[in-house]
Structure 1
Amino acid sequence: MDQFDKLLAKWQPQALSLFRFITGLLLFQYGVAKILGFPVVPMFAKIPPLIVVAGTIELVLGALLMIGLFTRLSAFILSGQMAFAYFIGHMFKTPAAPVFHPILNGGTASILFCFACLYLATAGGGPISADAMMRKK
């Protein structure tokens, strides 16, 4: 098992960069759907001001995560936004009867994004990122 751990540990830095890119890409797609309307998502059809703000944050900071620029700050802000999204958009969707269980309120993605971004805020962007290139100069 020790050899297997060493084999996988060798690729950890590259895996972190890939994880950062994919997390940013997935958040970016939510921003594109909310702001640009592509693809058309029925639940984003009515765009209240809070959705516009959330979509703008996801669009801009998701793009920054993809390229790995200001990774820690972007990920920290996105982590907070995803926590906010879970409580406001999922758990307390109906204030009279809050539903805590993510599988029932549709908040699973928000929780995963919250903790993925929290991890990225602490781990950084990895070796394949704009942040890493700027540090080398």
Structure 2
Amino acid sequence: MDNLLKKYEEHAYALLRMVTGFLLLFHGANYILGWPIDGRSWSGAAWYMAYFGVPILFLGGLFTCIGIFTRPAAFLASGMMAFAYWMAYGSKAFSPPADSTNSFIELMLPIVNKGELSVMFCLAFLYIATRGDGIWSVGAMRKK
């Protein structure tokens, strides 16, 4: 089993990089273009999210997906996802909703505060930042 999986290690990493970048790219496109889901817009976002966060979502996702400037793009995306977790989800523990029956510790858990996606993106992009472009990337083609 190990030999079989080891044989496809680079391919699996390339798929992880491309799909994770693709997902973040569309998350950013949703804020910029209002597509593919209507109703989301960066016009209502805090100024720092509109000017820093949304471009990192879009460009970080694009660069990671195609595999160019992968390390810095993924590192920025990872940091932004950590920031997003603490601003949008982890902060719920410090100002819980009035009807919340959860304790401080419970509200810090991603499953309770609904921050699982931010945590997964943060760790996936951190891993991608450590690995770099990999195969099936513009960076790999430029090195040839």
The reply to whether TM is greater than 0.5 is yes
CA RMSD, Structure 1 to Structure 2 (Å): 2.0
Secondary structure at 1:118 match in 2: helix
The residue number in structure 2 matching 1:81 is 80
Q: Does 1:121 align with 2:129?
A: yes
Q: Give the Cα separation in 2 of the matches to 1:110 and 1:77.
A: 13
The residue number in structure 2 matching 1:50 is 48
**Number of corresponding residues:** 133
The residue number in structure 1 matching 2:17 is 20
Contact 2:32 2:42 (8 Å CA) reproduced: no
Secondary structure at 1:92 match in 2: helix
The residue number in structure 1 matching 2:38 is 40
The residue number in structure 2 matching 1:105 is 113
Contact 1:31 1:55 (8 Å CA) reproduced: yes
The residue number in structure 2 matching 1:29 is 26
Unaligned runs of 5+ in 1: none
The residue number in structure 1 matching 2:101 is none
TM-score where L is the length of structure 2: 0.83
Q: Aligned residues: percent identity?
A: 38
The C-alpha deviation readout for 1:39-78, integer Å capped at 9, x for no partner, is 1256978333233231211101100111100111111111
Which amino acid letter does the alignment assign opposite residue 112 of structure 1?
M
Cα displacement (A) at 1:30? 0.9
Which amino acid letter does the alignment assign opposite residue 130 of structure 2?
T
TM-score where L is the length of structure 1: 0.87
